[in-house]
Amino acid sequence: MKKSITFCFLLVAATLLNPVQAKENEQQIKPVKNIILMISDGTSLASVSLARWLQWYEHPDRPKLFLDPYLCGTVRTFSSNAPIGDSAPTTSCYMTGYPSRTGYVATYPLSDPRNDIFPTDPKRAYQPMATLLEAGKMSMGKSSGLVFTCEFPHATPADCSAHSYKRGKYAWIAPQMVHNDLDVVIGGGAGLLNAEEEAYLKNRGYSLYKDDLPGMRADKNKRMWALYAERDMDYDLDRDTTQQPSLAEMTRTALSKLSQNPEGFFLMVEGSKVDWAAHANDPVGIAREFQAFDRACGAALDFARKNGETAVIITADHGNSGISIGVARCTGYDKLSKDQLFYQLSQFKLTAAGFAKMLNSRPASEVQDIFRQYAGFELTAEELKALYNCKGYKNSPIPMAERSDAGVEKSLYSSGELSDFMTKLITSKTCIGFTTHGHTGEDVFLSVYNPNGQRPTGMNDNVELNAYMCALFGINRDSLDLLTKTHFARHADVFKDYKYEILPAAGKGGFPSLLVKGKKKQLLIRPYTNLVELKSGKKQPDTIHLNSVVVYVDANNTFYLPTGLAGLLD
């Protein structure tokens, strides 16, 4: 394997596979031992600006974010057949070098000739694609880690360590993440591990903590899963600091464990819920959640500067919400002072979701006390009326059947979730605007720390960012393609010289399995794990532990598995 590679050659190689405009850059990219990829999910450039302004307003001695000194350009992210992507295909491209379709997790897209941004190979549709994390783990002996605040099978962490054309199929994704032998996993989703998955982790020597912050803090094991909350963790502003760690603490904990491997590591850290706050159009949630992400960036950068062998790449996967600082309803907003723009925003001590939770846990008689304490104002008569008529407000003095929008200010009325009412109320107190509750297609920011000073500058697209990270590990995308070919081959090709059959699922919710018969041996292969059973004669089956997972795709009734499995039958 080459120890160094030119950025120019790397991008030319990528161009042969996808016609990306390669940049002429003869500078050699010197490999590093460790990569920390930090992704702020669903973060528009205006979200970064809002978080920075709010920090500077509250702390005049801190005008810049931790990531600011390393800003070097932007990233254009996209799906295989659409300019605006969701988290699954965009982070998937960072990890594999291939754009993919909405909802696809590290999986080759279906061909869409009329709309594909780059040509795709129809024969490869649905094939799992090896990720940079898997390459480091399987080919270089590096440790691997994931840190996030969503539930662990969610799109971005899944993109690094699992494969599925349906991002919402946690039943397919969760076991892959467990069986991919990641060294450190810290985040949300304590309620999503089943008994088999917990047993596997414990049998493999992992420490496993569920809603146990003291346990995580005291743990000395190099391999650990620590999960909090049933699914996603609380927003940083809302969290109970005695029950859930900050993203910065989770990052430091992961680094302390991963850095013990002399071969190095790959760590992905996601600020998951900036995206969630953006979907909700909650400016408080967006700003505070990004600030929490930036503090995690500070922890990663501090480690990297001291370590001297670590690169830190900080970016987002896509924009969200069309957020703007300044909106038409605020007449003359371009002349407003910083107090007028940011004072009220600084007074909110809970996100919209946090407010909704508190309001629904305390009697209506305490409403004004709650707003005085956590927002710095009392509700007007109109605002109180809108709150009482919100159907999501459990403690309203107005019976459910009598609630309506009659006489309620339209900009505040919400017939559904209480958090929706709160986002409207919060936004009405600011000059922050939104164009959508969905994803947006603008370029996202890029900050890079490289101990050797070699950073991508200007506008790079998501394919090129993958190329840069591959170069940091001394490989190129051909290396990832080779791993894909050897670890995710079609079962019909791998076992073409043997008899095989796909056995139906044993029960509801189960998965098909693959039975392959040789002359004296047979293999029983179950999907979404790294375990296969090899039976010879009358002996008890031997369990073979693979260094990759087997993936079954129902859309084409195909198992994707290592080519070397056929050799077990000889």
- In this structure, are 51 and 160 located in the same domain? yes
Residues 6+ apart with CB under 8 A from 19: 118, 119
What's the pLDDT score for residue 26?
Answer: 35
Residue 338 domain flag: no
Residues 135 and 112: their CA atoms lie apart, in Å, by 28
554: domain CATH number is 3.30.457
Does the pLDDT at position 242 exceed 80? yes
- In this structure, are 234 and 358 located in the same domain? no
Please, which pLDDT band fits residue 2 given cuts at 50, 70 and 90? Answer: very low
Residue 341 domain flag: no
Tokens 């491997």: give the residue: 261
Across 437-457, average pLDDT = 97
Contact 79, 107 (CB under 8 A): no
Does the pLDDT at position 8 exceed 90? no
Residue 330 domain flag: no
Residues 236 and 272: their CA atoms lie apart, in Å, by 11
Residues 232 and 238: their CA atoms lie apart, in Å, by 13
Tokens 């079962």: give the residue: 491
What's the pLDDT score for residue 509?
Answer: 83
Residues 244 and 212: their CA atoms lie apart, in Å, by 8
Tokens 């959640």: give the residue: 289
Q: What percent of the chain has pLDDT over 90?
A: 92
- In this structure, are 319 and 350 located in the same domain? no
What's the pLDDT score for residue 420?
Answer: 97
Please state, as a whole number, how many other Cβ atoms lie within 10 Å of the Cβ of residue 121.
11
Element (H, E) at 316: strand 310-316
Residues 130 and 476: their CA atoms lie apart, in Å, by 12
CB burial of residue 390 (10 Å; 0-12, 13-18, 19+): buried
Residue 444 domain flag: yes
Q: Which of 339, 338, 354 is nearest to 285 (CA)?
A: 354
What total number of domains does the chain contain?
3
Instruction: Please give the backbone phi and psi of residue 551, each rounded to the nearest 5 degrees, phi first.
Output: -120, 130
Residues 6+ apart with CB under 8 A from 13: 467, 476, 477, 478
- In this structure, are 268 and 201 located in the same domain? yes
Residues 108 and 555: their CA atoms lie apart, in Å, by 13
Both structure tokens of 187: 């985040």
The 10s digit of each residue's pLDDT in 244-285 is: 999 999 999 999 999 999 999 999 999 999 999 999 999 999
Residues 337 and 354: their CA atoms lie apart, in Å, by 28
Does the pLDDT at position 17 exceed 50? no
Residues 266 and 136: their CA atoms lie apart, in Å, by 7
Residues 233 and 270: their CA atoms lie apart, in Å, by 12
Amino acid present at 330: C
- In this structure, are 474 and 516 located in the same domain? no
Residue 333 domain flag: no
Contact 37, 94 (CB under 8 A): yes
- In this structure, are 512 and 399 located in the same domain? no
What's the pLDDT score for residue 18?
Answer: 40
- In this structure, are 449 and 429 located in the same domain? no
Residue-wise burial string across 140-162, b where 16 or more C-beta atoms lie within 10 A, e elsewhere: bebbbbbbbbbbbbbbbbbbbbb
Tokens 């723009």: give the residue: 341
Please, which pLDDT band fits residue 507 given cuts at 50, 70 and 90? Answer: confident
Q: Is the pTM of this model over 0.85?
A: yes
The domain boundary, picked from 453, 487, 521, lies at 487
Compute the mean pLDDT over every residue in the chain, rounded to the nearest whole number.
Answer: 94
The 10s digit of each residue's pLDDT in 474-491 is: 999 899 999 999 999 999
Cα atoms found within 13 Å of the Cα of residue 516, Cβ hemisphere only: 23
Contact 90, 327 (CB under 8 A): no
Q: List the domain range (segments joined by +) for residue 82.
A: 5-323+437-487
Residues 63 and 66: their CA atoms lie apart, in Å, by 10
Instruction: Please give the backbone phi and psi of residue 548, each rounded to the nearest 5 degrees, phi first.
Output: -150, 170
Residues 113 and 119: their CA atoms lie apart, in Å, by 7
Does the pLDDT at position 429 exceed 90? yes
Higher pLDDT, 15 or 360: 360
What's the pLDDT score for residue 508?
Answer: 84
Residues 362 and 53: their CA atoms lie apart, in Å, by 33
DSSP secondary structure string for all residues of 195-252: HHHHHHHHHTT-EEEES-HHHHHH---SSEEEEESSSSPPPTTT--TTTS--HHHHHH
C-alpha 385: how far from chain center: 39
Virtual CA dihedral for 32, 35, 40, 45, nearest 10 degrees? 10
- In this structure, are 377 and 508 located in the same domain? no
Higher pLDDT, 538 or 343: 343
Residue 540 domain flag: yes
Residues 369 and 378: their CA atoms lie apart, in Å, by 8
What's the pLDDT score for residue 540?
Answer: 87
- In this structure, are 239 and 305 located in the same domain? yes
The 10s digit of each residue's pLDDT in 81-136 is: 999 999 999 999 999 999 999 999 999 999 999 999 999 999 999 999 999 999 99
- In this structure, are 414 and 469 located in the same domain? no
Nearest-10 crossing angle of helices 283-307, 418-428: 90
Residue 340 domain flag: no
Residue 336 domain flag: no
Please, which pLDDT band fits residue 570 given cuts at 50, 70 and 90? Answer: confident
- In this structure, are 544 and 560 located in the same domain? yes
The 10s digit of each residue's pLDDT in 275-288 is: 999 999 999 999 99
167: domain CATH number is 3.40.720.10
Contact 96, 134 (CB under 8 A): no
Length of the chain as a residue count: 570
Element (H, E) at 515: strand 513-517
Tokens 């200007």: give the residue: 458
- In this structure, are 166 and 35 located in the same domain? yes
Across 419-439, average pLDDT = 97
